[in-house]
Amino acid sequence: MKHTQRNDTLPPWIPEEYWDAIIQNDHTYDGTFFYAVQTTGIFCRPSCKSRAPNSDNVLIFQNTEQALAHKFRPCKRCKPTGERVPDQEWIHGVTEYINKHYAELLTLDVLAAASHGSPYHLHRVFKRITGQTPVQYIQTRRINEAQNLLQHTHLTVTEIARQVGISNPAYFISVFRKHTGVTPSHYRERHDSP
* Distance (Å) of CA 141 to CA 24, 86, 132, 147: 37, 24, 12, 10
Active site residue 44: yes
Angle between helices 134-152 and 119-130 (to 10 degrees): 60
* b/e sequence 95-109, b meaning 16+ C-beta within 10 Å: bebbeebbeeebebe
* Pairwise CA distance, residues 46 & 73, whole Å: 15
Reported for 89-96, long-range contacts at CB under 8 A and 24+ positions apart, including other chains, are: 90/115, 90/117, 90/125, 91/125, 91/126, 91/129, 91/130, 93/40, 93/41, 93/42, 94/122, 94/126, 94/134, 95/130, 95/137, 96/41
Residue type, 83: E
Catalytic residue numbers read 44
